[in-house]
Chain A
Amino acid sequence: MDPVSMRQLAAGLAIGLGAIGPGIGIGLLANGALNAIGRNPEAAGQIQVNMILGIAFAEAIAIYALVVALLLKFVA
């Protein structure tokens, strides 16, 4: 395989595989938050804020993968 197409493949794999974990994580987070809101609707505001913060952390991991993919695509 020539280096150019190898790099394309690597970039695609980097973001594709890197998005799996955060996807599961965000799903779990939303699941937990919605359960909590269902049990205690009064605390919805605070739970939402913390959920969004948590999602931002999980998403950041996908973003790292994206950065790697971008580096592979445009820099390396």
Chain B
Amino acid sequence: MSGKGCLIAILMLVLMVVLCSISSGFLGALGGGNTGLLHGIGLDPILPTIKLPAEMVVPMGAVGPFKVGLTNTTIATILTDVVLVVLALVATAKIRSGSKDAWVPRGLQNLIEWVIELLYGLAESVLGKRAKRVFWLGATIFLFVLIANWMELLPGVDSLGILEHPREPGIAHSRNGILLSLPEVKNEAPQSAEGAHAETEYEGWELIPFVRAAATDLNVTLALALISVVMTQYYGFQALGVQYMGKFLATRRLGQGNAMGLIDLIVGVLEAISEFAKVISFTFRLFGNIFAGQILLFVMAAFLIPFVVVGTLIFYGLEVFVGLIQAVVFMMLTFVFIAMATAGHGEEHGKHSEAH
């Protein structure tokens, strides 16, 4: 590596440390309370709060007959979609313009083509010929989950937000400030009127981040799981027709007067149950991994080892890996399930064991 490259690498590392620190509230927690390093420039990060349901950034309001609000995971989902659409448009601009430049892909187009080819190779290894028809589903899921997972790691996600006081009986739902805990916010906070100690002035206030990783909302992962499983049924019907129902309602051997047909009936019921189990395991696998990763970063950065930035970096790298792996797993499982559903009865036994 040349000297220049080395310098750039070191600068990148330093930048990453700083950005990670900001994103995890590390610098703010360094001095504790009002002496955090960021305090000088008017930003004063507070420790993150861990909450299971997605928080409302725009509170519930009536739009026509519906009550509509905007949660921070919805914002993340929309951002992910925007990123994907823009990426697709930019990467295929040359192809759509019909210029001969596109024949030799360069830059972004090359990168995206490489990714797509890689994914198609994976799809083909599982699905064989059928990959052509099913590829879009798995690839879309992969790209969506990947971008959504990696978005969690951007500085500012989970750390920029609204300060809010949780609802308490008697106290109205109060909201304050826009960005991190700006000093003005502190003065407006009811607690400071009681002359509380500087460190406890944020007591009871919670940060509602503007953007929170989409997969930390069960609704998002459940939606993806349902899409995947429902499409599996669709492709199963498409490939096998009414025969596909024979998987769940196996009456063939019973119709022949074979007593073993009773076992087939029970197996059919189990097959039906396993379809629902797929939904649950899809949902919680993605949700659990990303939610746990988020908490891991919180804990590592803010609570446990606030003075060892390297620790945060290691887990940051781990989360990059986990985000990728979960996207791959979601896609591969979708392909494997579709392969199982579309295969005739005789072929499917080999792949059964790896499904759960």
Binding site for B on A (CB under 8 A): 52-54, 56-57, 59-60, 63-64, 66-67, 70-71, 74-75
Contacts and interface: CB of A to CB of B under 8 A. Distances in A.
A60 B285 contact: yes
Contact of A70 (B285, B291, B325, B326): B291
A33 to B, nearest CB: 14
Given A53-B332, A74-B50, A60 B291 contact: no
Contacts of A52: 325
A53 B329 contact: yes
Interface string B268-281: 00000000000001
Interface in B318-343: 325-326, 328-329, 332
A67 B326 contact: no
B292 interface: yes
A10 B3 CA distance: 54
B288 A60 contact: yes
B50 A60 contact: no
A57 B281 CA distance: 10
A75 B52 contact: yes
Interface string B254-294: 00000000000000000000000000010011011101100
B289 A63 contact: yes
Interface of A is mostly: helix
B349 interface: no
Nearest to A64: B284
14 contacts: A60-B285, A60-B288, A63-B285, A63-B288, A63-B292, A66-B292, A67-B284, A70-B52, A70-B291, A70-B292, A71-B52, A74-B50, A74-B51, A74-B52
Interface of B is mostly: helix
A63 B296 CA distance: 13
A67 B329 contact: no
A14 to B, nearest CB: 13
Interface of B: 50-52, 281, 284-285, 287-289, 291-292, 295, 325-326, 328-329, 332, 354, 356
A56 B285 CA distance: 9
B325 A56 contact: yes
A67 B287 contact: yes
Nearest to A75: B52
A63 B322 CA distance: 12
A71 B218 CA distance: 13
In the A-B complex, the 7 residue pairs with the smallest Cβ-Cβ separation, listed nearest first, are A63-B288, A60-B285, A56-B329, A67-B288, A66-B292, A74-B52, A75-B52
Contacts of B328: 53
Nearest to B355: A57
Given A66-B288, A75-B52, 13 more contacts: A53-B328, A56-B326, A59-B289, A60-B284, A60-B289, A63-B284, A63-B288, A66-B292, A67-B284, A67-B287, A70-B292, A70-B295, A74-B50
Contacts of B281: 60
B336 to A, nearest CB: 9
A67 B294 CA distance: 13
Which of B287, B292, B332, B354 gathers most chain A CB within 10 Å? Answer: B292
Nearest to A59: B289
B251 to A, nearest CB: 33
Contacts of B295: 70
A75 B50 CA distance: 11
Nearest to A55: B325
Contacts of A63: 284-285, 288-289, 292
A28 to B, nearest CB: 14
Contacts of A75: 52
